[in-house]
Amino acid sequence: MWLEEINREIASCVRCPLCQSRTRVVPGEGPEDAMILLLGEAPGREEDETGRPFVGRSGRLLDECLVAAGIKRSDVFITNVVKCRPPDNRRPKRGEMESCRSYLRAQLELIDPRTVCLMGNVAARAVLNREGINALRGRVFEGRFIVTFHPAAIVRNRNRKDDLISDLKKARIVAEGQEGSGSEKLSQL
């Protein structure tokens, strides 16, 4: 299935109640051959309005961190665990994540990135079936999944910005094939 087909399928999705309150779906964006995929939680208000991932405050901070890590935003694929905005920016529920799981799986299979940055507990839980960001952060699982803070957490606590930049640098290094051995096997996706 081509990325364009996946996006069309996501755009017409009615698998969970989130479809009733969305303005636009946010399937993700970036090149189909991206070496790095950034996985967030869910679209926020500005993402829901534009149909693009990470364009609000968290997105602007993510852009700064990508530059600091030596990564071009145009070279990465950015998506979320769920493709529609949860009401009041609440965390996605397990059923909502399950409803989007096949879309995420299809994106990962098609893009086949060398590195996937799991940004925050929701992304870590969706892919690794684990959470506890402080314990998981900076670790590499299955040679390609790196857990890091969600940019929204950095907006609230700027002291962790250097950690996010460090993790993005690690993602770049793993994607370039310079690191990855000794990683843990856990993925449930």
pLDDT digits (tens, 9 = 90+) for 108-118: 999 999 999 99
* 145: CB partners within 8 A, 6+ apart: 115, 116, 118, 127, 128, 183, 187
Beta bridge partners of 80: 40
Q: Which pLDDT belongs to residue 185? A: 46
Q: Percent of the chain, pLDDT > 70?
A: 93
User: pTM to 2 decimals?
Assistant: 0.92
Domains in the chain: ranges and CATH: 3-175 (3.40.470.10)
The per-residue pLDDT of the chain, averaged, comes to: 92
Residue 186: which pLDDT band, with cuts at 50, 70 and 90?
A: very low
pLDDT, average across residues 119-141: 93
pLDDT score recorded for residue 181: 44
- 183 has pLDDT over 90: no
What's the average model confidence in pLDDT over 77-88? 96
Q: Cα separation of 84 and 18, whole Å?
A: 6
Query: Does the structure show a pLDDT above 80 at 178?
Result: no
Between CA 63 and CA 16 the distance in angstroms is: 31
DSSP-based helix, strand, coil % in the chain, nearest 5: 50, 10, 40
In sequence order, the 6+-apart residues with CB closer than 8 A to the CB of 178 are none
- Write the single-letter amino acid at 153: A
Long-range contacts, stretch 65-71, CB < 8 angstroms, 24+ apart: 65/151, 65/154, 65/161, 65/164, 65/165, 65/168, 66/168, 68/165, 68/168, 69/165, 69/168, 69/169, 69/171, 69/172, 70/169, 70/172, 71/36, 71/168, 71/171, 71/172
pLDDT, tens digit, for every residue of 14-61?
999 999 999 999 999 999 999 999 999 999 999 999 999 999 999 999
Q: What is the pLDDT of residue 179?
A: 58
For the chain, what percent of residues have pLDDT higher than 90?
A: 88
For residue 173, the model assigns a pLDDT of 94
